[in-house]
Amino acid sequence: MQELKLKPMTIEEYLDFTDTRPKDEKWELIEGEPVLSPSATDSHELFVMNLGVALVLARDKQGATWEPMPEIGTRVPVSPNSLPEPDLMVKEEEVIGSPISDDALVLFDILSPSNRKADREWRHRVYASVPNCQHYVTVSQARALVVRHDRANNWKAVEIKGMDGGLELSALSVSMPLRTIYRATPLLRKAP
């Protein structure tokens, strides 16, 4: 018997599909297939909030116009039938009420135990294709480790380890201590 192959879903079809789903479900379009993400944990959301608050404070202090935004679908040119949602992005253009952006300056993912190596490598590859993106940052929940990939450094990984380290985001003129990212998380409560 021949296997039935479905045509990959387009972004427009995906958006129509997600409009029919409960709002508390988090979906992403990955290579033409809608993928339901596991529910976020309180720890995961604390990381997102810590990053978002630190970025808003830095933006306001600078008088900058970029905007940190959680869970916005990001167009990735190397995979036109994909619409991944980073945990947080920094958007350069004006907020217009769209569920999609293609102008991310910085993309952040908080790593969970469910993130497999293949998924992390795929995101690294597709986020590097976003024309305006200057940094892709992953944050470990298992240990004090932030990894920054920079366009200016051909997307090579720079590891920042330990609570005394600092995350530099040159595209935003922002420097952020890891203690800020890990504030009130179980790892910081365990740190000396």
Whole-angstrom distance, CA of residue 129 vs CA of residue 30: 15
Give the pLDDT of residue 192: 57
Does 20 have pLDDT greater than 90?
A: yes
Percent of the chain whose pLDDT exceeds 70: 95
Give the pLDDT of residue 96: 87
Does 176 have pLDDT greater than 50?
A: yes
Residue range 61-86: mean pLDDT, rounded: 95
CB 164 within 8 A of CB 174: no
Give the pLDDT of residue 1: 47
CB 59 within 8 A of CB 66: yes
Residue range 78-91: mean pLDDT, rounded: 96
The model's pLDDT over 27-50, given as tens digits with 9 standing for 90+, comes to 999 999 999 988 888 999 999 999
The model's pLDDT over 117-127, given as tens digits with 9 standing for 90+, comes to 889 999 999 99
Average pLDDT along the chain: 92
Domain boundaries, the chain: 41-190
Give the pLDDT of residue 117: 87
Write down the CATH superfamily of domain 41-190.
Answer: tt1808, chain A (3.90.1570.10)
Task: Give every strand in the sheet of 135-140, ordered side by side.
Answer: 67-70, 88-91, 104-111, 135-140, 145-150, 157-161
Specify the residue for token string 């217009």.
96
The model's pLDDT over 138-166, given as tens digits with 9 standing for 90+, comes to 999 999 999 999 999 999 999 999 999 99
pTM, full prediction: 0.91
Give the pLDDT of residue 10: 95
Whole-angstrom distance, CA of residue 182 vs CA of residue 51: 9
Whole-angstrom distance, CA of residue 148 vs CA of residue 106: 10
